[in-house]
Amino acid sequence: MKRVSYSWLCCVLALLCISCCDGAIKLPPGVTIPGVFAYGDSIVDQGNNNVVKTLLKCNFPPYGKDFQGGVPTGRYSNGKTPPDLIAEELGITNFIPAYLDPNLKAQDLPTGVSFASGGCGYDPQTSQIVSVISLSDQLKHFKEYMGKLKGAVGEERANNIVSNSLHLVVAGSDDLANTYFTIGIRRAQYDISSYADLVVSSASSFIQELYQLGARRIAVFGIPPIGCLPAQRTLAGGSLRVCSEEYNQAAQLVNAKLSSTLESLNQSLPQSRVVYIDIYNPLLDLIQHPQNYGFEVNDRGCCGTGNIEVVILCNKYSGTCPDDSKYIFWDSYHPTEQAYKILVHQIIQKYVNSFI
């Protein structure tokens, strides 16, 4: 009898796990999560940068190639992104729109929106450098949204929606990858430990402000292994384009400090569920063992050469790979929808009970 390889078996099990979980997660009786809100950077920007004067846009082909008939909505991927997939797995809705989408309707408001802006970070300088929406301005948009929601459903229901919904906070990658390492403005002012303190302090302030505005279930994502992103391999990985250990160690340092701070916040903010979400290890496992999840390419994106193309460099002239489902990364910075599906499912399974 022919022996079945371990890696092939792992791949089949992973695919079976994904296919059997297409239905919504069942929450305990009496527990509801009415909506999903997102704040932060490009991972959860559903198209807000479309209306911002910045080069960090992706509302053009080939972005959105696999999204509802190939429509480029401003999502930084080939298809759906984490806010969509999380809302889908929780049985809320199939898509989370951008708050600044000119086609946003009153009936879209109760299930949540994204205020995020590609290129944003906890460090205020990060958004200033690339002229995108800062976290403080995202909070202003949230306040504005609350006024619209109250007008649409009434104050009591609006407050209930906000307090019971899931609020995703995804930032920090651009602080390290761009502001600290690539551009280097902050590197001249801080060593990595003190910069990590600045980032975490800003994150803490943001979360407390979000809490004051009514959010209670707050999922704060750690920084991924940025040294293994295709663009960072190209910029800092040498001729062999290996993962940059310096970048990854910086991400781990911020994550350790952030996790500790969030634990304290969770204790000090009454009725809150402030939860640190580890994305570093799940994504690193995908990158280190791609075959276990059905992937073939782990070190470059599907767009263009895959080594450096992102936003305006990934365009209709760049070309794309034949099968993006075999790639972990869509461009040189952002995962494909298929990679997001695997990561989101793992996250929901691990953390959903922490918000109940």
Active-site positions read 42, 331, 334
Do residues 97 and 108 lie in contact, with contact meaning Cβ atoms separated by under 8 Å?
yes
Do residues 165 and 35 lie in contact, with contact meaning Cβ atoms separated by under 8 Å?
yes
**Kind of pairing between the strands at 166-170 and 327-329:** unpaired
Q: How many CB atoms lie within 10 A of CB 54?
A: 17
Residue pointed to by tokens 């969030």: 262
Q: Residue 307: which residues within 8 A CB-CB, separation 6 or more?
A: 230, 231, 233, 234, 241, 300, 301, 332
Q: How many CB atoms lie within 10 A of CB 19?
A: 8
Do residues 121 and 183 lie in contact, with contact meaning Cβ atoms separated by under 8 Å?
no
d(Cα 141, Cα 351) in Å, to the nearest integer?
Answer: 27
Q: How many CB atoms lie within 10 A of CB 289?
A: 15
**Kind of pairing between the strands at 297-301 and 36-40:** unpaired
Give the bridge partners for 221, in sequence order: 170, 277
40, 197, 200, 263 from 123: Cα distances, Å:
11, 11, 9, 21
Three-class secondary structure of residue 97 per DSSP: coil
